[in-house]
Structure 1
Amino acid sequence: MRFLIAPDSFKGSLTAKQVATTIKRAIEDVWPAASTVLMPMADGGEGTVEAIVDAIDGQYISTQVTGPLGTKATATWGIIAEQQPTAIIEVANICGLTMVPLEERNPLHTTSYGVGEIILAAFDQGIRSFIIGLGGSATNDGGIGMLTALGVQFYDNNNNLLPGFGRDLAHIAKVDYRHLDTRLQHCHFIAATDVQNTLLGSQGATTIFAPQKGATPAVVQMMELQMNNYANLVEQHLGQPYKQLPGSGAAGGIAFALLTIGATISAGANVVAETMKLDEQFPLVDWVITGEGLSDEQTLYGKLPIYIATKAKQHHKKCLLISGSLGNNTEALSEHFAACFATISRPVDLITCLQEAEHNLWQTTKQIIQLIKNVHAE
């Protein structure tokens, strides 16, 4: 029996790689004769760099950047050499929400400047092709931090240059792209995201995601107006519409900023899977196992497990979902998976769940594999 193991991370407890290796260990414990193929996945958020670089046997690079609060941080990104060298970047480890202490979370005080610094570092190595994962940011600056690092200039009413934090959206009076780094003219950017939210509106970046990043209702209302002014100035300056394009609101508007320099927005799971050549693995296996930290009705809207289940169905393979917990509307999930499992076996607090995540995943997987083994033997 052959198993393809292609999970997302269990956010807050296990990386996708740790999830995959734990499932593999459980299979080997129960069924030593079974074989496994490990393809830890990501959908543009946390783990995107690791998933792609490890699968393609790429190179990891560590670079000092400006972190989300404006202080120095070390960010890891990757280089893969396929048809052309490509930089693999994820905003989660440059200006990510987990990099900001809970008590300091406020999108007025965060910046995407470090994303631009990584792009410049890649330029210096001769790289002109980029895949940028947009999940997990702490920012809602519309990407002005990143653009500032790349040479775009934002001025206030007194003609002072703005540094590129979320709070600077309130003061933008003029936009100037004329000093944009000229190397961008020869670049290809793919912005990988698992959301379709536009920059503005009731389903936009600020309304939906800024509260998760520490914004109060009053701040959300204020930043929505400021983001609209900023977007209008950029679109008037460039003569192109971007703010209502699907996905433009990803990563607090970093996607919008990337669109203005020629990027293409693509579904993160699809970008990662195509880069890793995931499709080539399905014909070689009998079962597919995927999972994530929490599976609920939101999983149905482009999250990685649904992508894996859809691919498995196309190849006429059964797909199992093993997640840390199952939330609302799991009946709808059952339409896409052969079966859905939660690893939590008893009522416990969140801290205990996180601490026991690996053990619980191992135990649950063992029980599932034991069932498959027994059925297969009949």
Structure 2
Amino acid sequence: MRVMIAPDCFGGTLSATEVADAVAAGWRRSRPDVELVTRPLSDGGPGFVEVLHHSLGGELHQVPVNGPLRRTVIATWLEHDGTAYIESAQACGLHLVAPEDREPLTAHTVGVGEMMYDANDFDVHTMVVGLGGTASTDGGAGLFSGLNAVPLDTRDQVLPNGGGALIDCGRIVGQVDLRDEVTIIAATDVENPLLGEHGAARTFGPQKGADELTVQRLERGLAHWADIMAQACGRDVRDLPGAGAAGGLGAGLLALGARVESGAGLVRRLTGLDEAMAGVDLVITGEGSFDWQSLRGKLAVNVAGAAAERGLPCLVLAGQVAVGRRQAASVGVERAYSVAEHAGSVEASLADPAGTLAALAADVAAQWGT
């Protein structure tokens, strides 16, 4: 039997590589005779650069940038064959901020712009910006600032960072400092618009620490910021799919002329996932939470689709599962297993993420041993 393990990260706990290693360790515990093929993946969120470097090689560049709040972080981007792969979570990821320190009104994306500015000095013709897992909801205002197009308030003072200040933005001064020939791609599988019930603030704000009043303030600020970007860039992007990705960072990139491409699909293609499925008997994927957002095209469903095209069964091992068997089957998932349920509670699973995942994998392997 030949089994492929192709997971995403478990946000905030395990990288995609660590997930793959834990599942493989558990599987071998029950089925040491099985040949395992590991393919850690990403949909553009945390682990994007690590996964691509593992498959493509290329040169890693480290650059100090402004983190999501007040500290400098060292961010890494990948240069390969004329393309810069930039992971937004490296600069403004939620994992960089402890839960008790989250500041949804002031977290920003300045560091993402600084990464792009750094990549602009190299011989690259394309910048692929992976979106996801951010602590910010600033609509990409920080991105503009990091690229030397500075948002000012109505008194022509530099606008403070973060989505909470956007309502006071008066204009943007300066030109974005990127070469004209550079193509920008926003890699994401989030289709949410910038505003409204399914927008950046209402959908993703609460997981970044925003209460209802904060969500309302962010929503008003993003609506105003969309007007400012439309005036400055000549593009009204608020209703475009993907504009709400990464706290509205997608909107900032779209305003700069980026096109959206499926992050999971891009990684699937670049890592040769389809070719690696040749001769495989079973496919395992996974992510932190297998829920309704997964069904809208996130990585696990993308992997399940690739398996279904080849008539292969696909299993999901996730931190938590909120999808019924019928819903899972509709996207090509044979069964979905919850680490939290297997461990007895979410708290137990988080106390030892790799160990509890490996234990689940061992039990699943025993079930699929024939």
- The alignment's TM-score, normalised by the length of structure 1, stands at 0.90
Q: CA offsets per residue over residues 155-175 of structure 1, 9 Å max, x none?
A: 222222325432331221123
Q: CA offsets per residue over residues 86-129 of structure 1, 9 Å max, x none?
A: 22222222111121232332222111100011111112233332
| 1:144 and 2:141 aligned | yes
| 1:105 and 2:64 aligned | no
Q: CA offsets per residue over residues 171-222 of structure 1, 9 Å max, x none?
A: 211234x522142x11122111231111111211122222222223222222
Match of 2:76, SS state, is: strand
Correspondent of 1:216 among 208, 211, 218: 211
Partners of 2:44 and 2:87 within 8 A in 1: yes
- Aligned-pair CA distance for 1:17: 0.6
Distance 1:304 1:153 in 2: 35
Equivalent residue number for residue 69 of structure 1: 69
Distance 2:209 2:319 in 1: 25
Distance 1:143 1:249 in 2: 10
Equivalent residue number for residue 55 of structure 2: 55
Equivalent residue number for residue 229 of structure 2: 234
Distance 1:280 1:150 in 2: 38
| Pair 1:238–1:76, CA change in 2 (3 A) | closer
- Aligned-pair CA distance for 1:330: 4.2
Q: CA offsets per residue over residues 129-160 of structure 1, 9 Å max, x none?
A: 22211111111111111111112132222222
Match of 1:131, SS state, is: strand
Equivalent pairs counted in the alignment come to 369
Equivalent residue number for residue 308 of structure 2: 313
Partners of 2:154 and 2:169 within 8 A in 1: yes
Distance 2:31 2:15 in 1: 24
Correspondent of 2:351 among 329, 333, 355: 355
Distance 2:13 2:215 in 1: 30
Mapping 1:14-163, distance limit 5 Å: 14-79=14-79, 81=80, 84-163=81-160
Partners of 1:148 and 1:163 within 8 A in 2: no
Distance 2:178 2:132 in 1: 27
Equivalent residue number for residue 295 of structure 1: 290
| 1:367 and 2:355 aligned | no
| Pair 1:132–1:158, CA change in 2 (3 A) | same
Distance 1:243 1:35 in 2: 48
| Pair 1:305–1:141, CA change in 2 (3 A) | same
Amino acid across the alignment from 2:165: D
Partners of 2:117 and 2:178 within 8 A in 1: no
Larger Rg: 1
- The alignment's TM-score, normalised by the length of structure 2, stands at 0.92
Distance 1:344 1:107 in 2: 28
Distance 1:221 1:13 in 2: 30
Amino acid across the alignment from 2:55: A
Partners of 1:135 and 1:194 within 8 A in 2: no
Q: CA offsets per residue over residues 47-106 of structure 1, 9 Å max, x none?
A: 111111111123333221101113211222222x2xx33222222221111212323322
| Pair 1:97–1:143, CA change in 2 (3 A) | same
Distance 2:98 2:356 in 1: 28
Amino acid across the alignment from 1:293: G
| Pair 1:179–1:142, CA change in 2 (3 A) | same
Distance 2:114 2:202 in 1: 28
Partners of 2:7 and 2:40 within 8 A in 1: yes
- Aligned-pair CA distance for 1:346: 5.3
| Pair 1:163–1:127, CA change in 2 (3 A) | farther
Partners of 1:133 and 1:193 within 8 A in 2: yes
Partners of 1:64 and 1:73 within 8 A in 2: yes
Identity of aligned residues (%): 35
Amino acid across the alignment from 1:35: E
Partners of 2:78 and 2:85 within 8 A in 1: yes
Equivalent residue number for residue 278 of structure 1: 273
Partners of 1:70 and 1:111 within 8 A in 2: no
Distance 2:161 2:300 in 1: 35
Choose 91-100 or 213-222, whichever is displaced more.
Answer: 213-222
Choose 338-347 or 112-121, whichever is displaced more.
Answer: 338-347
Choose 28-37 or 294-303, whichever is displaced more.
Answer: 28-37
- Aligned-pair CA distance for 1:293: 2.3
Q: Structure 2 regions of 5+ residues with no counterpart?
A: none
| 1:202 and 2:197 aligned | yes
| 1:251 and 2:249 aligned | no
